[in-house]
Structure 1
C-alpha cells in the first residue's frame, strides 16, 4: 500500500516517475499552480509590506480536495515540482494549500530517469524560501506593473491592451530598430571581383589596394580609375600566407540558445520549442524500455555538464568516431561549486536520434536530434581548417584571394551552428600558388552596391538580444514574444518583427509616462535584484518597495495627463456589399483582413486578395490571386471561387509546359527556385 505521496506539476511527469518509485509511492499531478493572485483585482496590499492575497485558482477546487484527501493518508509528502524558481513556488503553494501540519520533503531532479529520480528521493531537502521569495517578487512586480498600466491604456487607447516589464522592452527594441531603418540613408559603394585561372581551375579574388594603400570605391569613377591602372591580363602572385586554424564547437544548449537555434534550423517559434522540449523532458514511451525522459530540464541558463554525462559522451564518441575525435579535456572533471543546473542535453548519449525515432513525432524527433547533435558535438575535438591568403599584382593594383579547406572535420562531422542570415562557405579551395608565378585574369566584374539598413529582428535574434541585455529569464522569452503578437503590437513579415501602428502608440505612451519600465538598464538591474533575492542577498519587500515608490507617482501622472488617443482604421477603398458602409482594414490572429466599418451592426468580413497577373489555368476566366491559410501560409486560388475551385501551394507563372501543355508553377525549396510542370517531370531554372 502506498504510504508516500508525491506531487508533481503534470500528469505526463507523474506517469513517468511513478514507474520508477514503485508501489509505496502514489504520484499525483497538481497541473501547475494551485494558487495565484486574483484576476479581478491587483491582490497586493501595498500598505502592508506588499502582502499578496492568494486564492485557489478557479477550477482547481476539486483537484485540491483530492490532494488534501491523499495528503491525510500519507506518512510523507514529497513535492517534486520542477527545479527552478517557478517549481519552488509551486511546492510552497502546495504546502500552504494542503495544510502546514503535514511533513513536506522537497525533491528535485534535472532529468527524469530512473537513477536521477531515485537518487533525489534518497536526499530530500526543505523548500528553498529564497527561491520562493524571488519568484514571488517577480510575480508581484509584474502584477503591479500590469494592473496599473493596462487600465490606463484601455481608457486612453484601446481595450484589451497590456504592458509589462519584459514585453514593453521587447516592443521598444523592435520599434527602435524600425526607426533606425526609417532614418537609414543608403550609401553607394563598389566592389571589383576578378576571376583568375590556373590550369583548369578558376578562382576569384577581390580588389584590395593600389600601391599598398586602401582605396574607397564610392562611385563608378573610382572603379574606372583603378581599372585604368591594370595593364593586360597577367597577374603575378605575391605574398602567400598559409595558416592552420581551429574552429571550436558551440556549448551545449541553454534555454535561450535552444530557442534561437530551433528558430533558425527548424523554423520553430519559441513557444513551440518549449512545448516540445517539455514533452521530451517529462517522458516518452520507448517500447520495452518504458517511459524515459529524453532530455534534461529545459529551463536553464547554464552550459554546465555533469561528469557522468561528460564521461558517457566521451565513451560514445571514441567508440563511434575514434580517439582523435575526443575533446582534449574530455577526461577532466567538471569544476566544483558551479550552478546546480545543467545545460539542456540528452539524458543518455547512447539514445541516438535514430534509435528513438520510431517512438517520436516528426517535430519531437527534429528537436531531439538538434539537442543530441549539439551536445555530442560540444564534447568533440575542434575542426582543423587549412587557410591560405594570396595577393595577386598587376602594375600597382593588388587583388586578394582567400581559400579554406577542411583538414580535419572534428565536431563538424555531426553539427554546425546555424546563422541568422546567409550560410557561410566552409570550403573554397585555391589551386597551389607560389610567389612569383603568373596567372591569367579571365573576367573582371565591377559591381555597384548600396549599404543596407540594420535588419529587423528575427525571433532568434530578439531572444539573443534580450538575453545579452539581461532582460527576463529563460522561461519568459516564449510568452513575451507570444503576447506582443497576440496584442497586435507587432506582426511578422518574412519571419521578422515589424511594429504595427497600435504597437507604436502603446510604446510612445509607455515611454513618455513610464520611462523606467522600458529602460533597458533599469530592467536589467531589476533582474539582478531578483537574482540577489534568490541568493539570499536581498529582501524581497525592500526590492518591491524601492520600485513602487518610484512607479506609483508615474501612475498618478499618467492617469491625470495622458490624452485619449483615437486609432482610426485604414479605409480599404471599397464598400460593404451587405450594408453599403465603407470597408476598413483590421488586423486579426492570422493577419490583415477587411471588415465592415458598421460593426457590430454588420459583421461582414473579407480576406484580402492580391492578383498575381495570371489567368486561372483551370477556368481561363478568373484571375489567380494570392491568399493566406489559417496557418498564415501563402497559397494561390481563382478569384471566381466558389464557381471555380482551382487552388495551388505553388505559384502559377502563366506559361504552359512545352512537353505536356499543362500549366507551369514556380516551386521554392529553401533558397532554390525552380519552374516545374504540375503533371509531367519537366523542370527548368527560374529566371
Structure 2
C-alpha cells in the first residue's frame, strides 16, 4: 500500500514536488478543477439558498477515476492545491468527489516550490478553509447568474458567442462611461516652448542644457511672437538652487504591480505575464504569483541583506517591512519574490529570464537604502521679455547600485532633507 498520496493542481508541479518528498510519497495532478456547474443548464437552485449543481466534465472523468483508485490505496491523502480561493475549492471538490475520510486527509499549502517549503507544509497541515471555499462558490455562482441572463441579450443585440460576466459587464460599463466623458470634454490647445542652451561643463566643454518656458502659451501667434523676440534676446542665469532629496524604493511585487511593470518595461500582456510567472513558480524559482501582499518573510529579508552587502556594501543595506494597503489583503501570504535571492540570473526561455530579472531587481531594491539625490533648478531670464525658462536636473549620489536600483525607485516616494 502506498503510504502517502499528494494531489496538486499542475502536472509540472507534481514532478518537482515528488522529487523533494521521496519514495514514501506519490504525487499526482488534478489538472485544475475536477468539477464545475453543469455547462448547458442554469445549475443553481435559487429557491434552495442558491444551491449549485455540479458535474464532472467528460475530459476529467478519467483523471477522477485514477485519483479515486490511488486514494483508496493510500494511508494518507494530502490535498496540496494552491493557497488561493480557487485552490481551496479544488481541495474541497477533491475531498467530496473522492469520498475522502477526515482522519486520513490533510490539507497543506505552500507559496514556493522548494524542498524546505514543501517539508514545512507537511509538518504543518491544516483543515480545508470553508470560508475560502464559500468565497469561490459565491464568485462562480455570480458568474453563472450574470452570464446566463446577459449573454443571450448580447447574442441577440450584438453578436453570437459573446459572453458577459460579473467582472466583464461592470468593466465595460466603466469604460463606456469614461469614453463618454472623453468625448464630451472640451479641449483647449496650448503651446509648450523648450529651449536648448549651450553651457560650459566643469572642464569648460560646451554641453546642451534643456530648459522649458515657465508658462504655457495659448495661441500659435503668441508662441511665434515669443520665438521671434528670443532671436535677438540675451539670456541670463538668474538663480541656481540645489536641494537634497531622498527617493525610496517601491514595495515588492503583488500580482497587479507585476502585471503593470511587465507591461511597461517588457511589453508583456497580462496573460503572458501570468503564464511565464506560472512556469517560474512551478519550476521553484519564484514564490506564488497570485498575491495581494507586499510582505517578505524574514528568510527573504535576511538573504537580501547578505546579497546587497556582498554586491555593494553594508551602507546600502536597509531592511524594510512594507504594509499592504489593499482592503482585505491576505497578510499571511508573501509578495512575489525569488525563492533564492542569491540567484540573480536563471536558466530558461528569454521571457522567463526577463521576468525573473524584473522580480529579482524589485525585491533586492526594496531592501536597499534610499537613493540620495541632488536636484538642481536653474532659472534663466530673457532680456526683452518678462518670461523665464526653467531647467531642472538630478544627480544620484550613490552610484554603485544604479543598475539594480534606478528602475525600481518609486518616483512618488520623495522626501526633502
Structure 1 length-normalised TM: 0.55
State the match for 1:201 in structure 2. 207
Alpha-carbon spacing, 1:180–1:412, altered in 2? closer, same or farther (3 Å): farther
Task: Write the deviation string for residues 194-250 of structure 1: whole angstroms up to 9, x where unpaired.
Answer: 333334233232222xxxxxx652113434665687695433322321011122222
Is 1:2–2:8 an aligned residue pair? no
Is the 1:230–1:394 contact (alpha carbons within 8 Å) kept by the matching residues of 2?
A: yes
State the match for 2:272 in structure 1. 272
Alpha-carbon spacing, 1:58–1:394, altered in 2? closer, same or farther (3 Å): same
State the match for 2:388 in structure 1. 398
Alpha-carbon spacing, 1:338–1:308, altered in 2? closer, same or farther (3 Å): farther
How far residue 65 of structure 1 moved from its aligned partner, in angstroms, is 1.3
Is 1:154–2:160 an aligned residue pair? no
State the match for 2:315 in structure 1. 324
Is 1:191–2:192 an aligned residue pair? yes
Structure 2 length-normalised TM: 0.88
Is the 1:20–1:114 contact (alpha carbons within 8 Å) kept by the matching residues of 2?
A: yes
Is the 1:245–1:386 contact (alpha carbons within 8 Å) kept by the matching residues of 2?
A: yes
State the match for 1:362 in structure 2. 350
Give the whole-Å Cα distance in 1 for the aligned partners of 2:118 and 2:34. Answer: 24
How far residue 415 of structure 1 moved from its aligned partner, in angstroms, is 4.6
How far residue 418 of structure 1 moved from its aligned partner, in angstroms, is 8.4
How far residue 274 of structure 1 moved from its aligned partner, in angstroms, is 1.0
> Map of 1:608-687 to 2, 5 A cutoff?
none
State the match for 2:298 in structure 1. 307
Give the whole-Å Cα distance in 2 for the aligned partners of 1:150 and 1:74. Answer: 45
Alpha-carbon spacing, 1:191–1:333, altered in 2? closer, same or farther (3 Å): closer
State the match for 1:462 in structure 2. none
1:344 to 324, 336, 347: 336
Task: Write the deviation string for residues 346-389 of structure 1: whole angstroms up to 9, x where unpaired.
Answer: 00111221xx22xx122221211121122112222222221111
Is the 1:381–1:411 contact (alpha carbons within 8 Å) kept by the matching residues of 2?
A: no
Give the whole-Å Cα distance in 1 for the aligned partners of 2:160 and 2:194. Answer: 57
Give the whole-Å Cα distance in 1 for the aligned partners of 2:113 and 2:131. Answer: 25
Is the 2:294–2:322 contact (alpha carbons within 8 Å) kept by the matching residues of 1?
A: no
SS in 2 for 1:165: coil
Is 1:407–2:408 an aligned residue pair? no
Larger strand percent: 1
Alpha-carbon spacing, 1:41–1:417, altered in 2? closer, same or farther (3 Å): farther
How far residue 147 of structure 1 moved from its aligned partner, in angstroms, is 1.1
Give the whole-Å Cα distance in 1 for the aligned partners of 2:379 and 2:335. Answer: 45
Give the whole-Å Cα distance in 1 for the aligned partners of 2:18 and 2:98. Answer: 21
How far residue 140 of structure 1 moved from its aligned partner, in angstroms, is 0.5
Task: Write the deviation string for residues 31-63 of structure 1: whole angstroms up to 9, x where unpaired.
Answer: 111111000101000011111111112221222
Give the whole-Å Cα distance in 2 for the aligned partners of 1:4 and 1:196. Answer: 75
Give the whole-Å Cα distance in 2 for the aligned partners of 1:45 and 1:269. Answer: 38
> Map of 1:91-490 to 2, 5 A cutoff?
91-101=91-101, 103-199=104-200, 200-208=206-214, 217-223=217-223, 232-283=232-283, 293-327=284-318, 329-330=319-320, 339-353=331-345, 356-357=346-347, 360-395=348-383, 396-409=386-399, 412-417=402-407
* 5+ residue gaps, structure 2: 201-205, 412-417
Alpha-carbon spacing, 1:392–1:135, altered in 2? closer, same or farther (3 Å): same
Give the whole-Å Cα distance in 2 for the aligned partners of 1:295 and 1:407. Answer: 32
Give the whole-Å Cα distance in 2 for the aligned partners of 1:261 and 1:334. Answer: 20
Give the whole-Å Cα distance in 1 for the aligned partners of 2:182 and 2:330. Answer: 42
Is the 2:79–2:106 contact (alpha carbons within 8 Å) kept by the matching residues of 1?
A: yes
The structure that has the greater radius of gyration is 1
Give the whole-Å Cα distance in 1 for the aligned partners of 2:60 and 2:382. Answer: 81
Is the 1:383–1:412 contact (alpha carbons within 8 Å) kept by the matching residues of 2?
A: no
Give the whole-Å Cα distance in 2 for the aligned partners of 1:260 and 1:28. Answer: 34
Larger helix percent: 2
Give the total of aligned pairs: 398
State the match for 2:203 in structure 1. none
State the match for 2:415 in structure 1. none
Alpha-carbon spacing, 1:172–1:412, altered in 2? closer, same or farther (3 Å): farther
Is the 2:362–2:408 contact (alpha carbons within 8 Å) kept by the matching residues of 1?
A: no
* 5+ residue gaps, structure 1: 209-214, 284-292, 424-687
Alpha-carbon spacing, 1:123–1:392, altered in 2? closer, same or farther (3 Å): same
